Amino acid sequence: MPKAFVCGHPVAHSRSPLVHGYWLKRYDITGSYDAIDIEPERFSSFLRGISGNDFIGGNVTIPHKEAAFELVDILDKAAGKIGAVNTIWLEDDKLFGGNTDWSGFAANLDSVTPGWEDASNAVILGAGGAARGILYALIQRGIPDIRIVNRTRLRAEQLASDFSDGTAYKISVFDWSAQLAALQDSELLVNTTSLGMNDSDTYVPDLTPVSGSAIVSDIVYTPLETPLLRAARESGLKTVDGLGMLLHQAVPGFEKWFGVRPEVTPELRDLVLRDMGSHR
């Protein structure tokens, strides 16, 4: 029986077992997908032991994504560039590491706001690990003008410089206090910071300068409608919540481990929403 896992620390909050469990049932596959809490000190021995434990692969989540990048035998192109692995699988006795966060982000926009990649520019709020995946996605989809705004400017500059090898796009860095300039006529805005996750985070950038047809997206999905998404909706802008990205990033892993490309359905979304206790 194929066995897969999600490992993290903590991991109890992960919705991945619910998502993969739904697909296993829906496609009538005899297999398992379980959450395993692994402390950072034990992560490397856990990875080395997965074939002996009959696992075929799994997901890696916070705080292990960078460690997995260092430890796998072979990286896919995206993981190599992003510097983080969220999906691993065994193939020919080798441990492969891939990154599906970026493709999950893109696939979700494809489904909710088709044509989004025609945007002539995009703004990324944040420059941490999550921002790297989003930047990779925007570059892959051909957004020519990408603006990074981060509280710590140096981090944004580092990120821009790590991706400075392309010629088809331009990346500019803005101070946190220069958001108005960064947002001027922006057509796609993606929040990758943790702002909005806590009730105390009520900060929302001034959306006045963005284009009237802009898409505003947040990778935070608890709450589903962050203060940023609420402000965008109230300004008549298109909004894309973070739950879709979570569901879509799971698709390639399931296909690798269990051999069926699963579908992200409204029923699956409802199932996860009910689990989050915020069905709407």
Q: Interface residues with ligand ATR (CB under 6 A)?
A: 126-131, 150-152, 155, 192-195
Asked about 238 being catalytic, the answer comes back as no
The catalytically annotated residue of 25, 65, 81, 170 is: 65
What are the angstrom distances between the C-alpha of 149 and each of 23, 55, 124, 166, 215?
Answer: 38, 40, 6, 20, 17
Indicate the SS3 state at residue 74. strand
Count of alpha carbons within 13 Å of 159, Cβ hemisphere only? 29
Minimal distance in Å, beta carbon 205 to ligand ATR? 10
Minimal distance in Å, beta carbon 35 to ligand ATR? 19
Which CB, 72 or 82, lies closer to ligand ATR? Answer: 82
Which CB, 34 or 175, lies closer to ligand ATR? Answer: 175
| DSSP-derived secondary structure for 211-262 | -TT-EEEES--SSSS-HHHHHHHHTT-EEE-SHHHHHHHTHHHHHHHHS---
Shortest Cβ contact with ligand ATR: which residue?
Answer: 128
Minimal distance in Å, beta carbon 170 to ligand ATR? 20
**What are the structure tokens assigned to 253, written together?**
């892993």
Minimal distance in Å, beta carbon 152 to ligand ATR? 3
**Active centre residues (catalytic):** 65
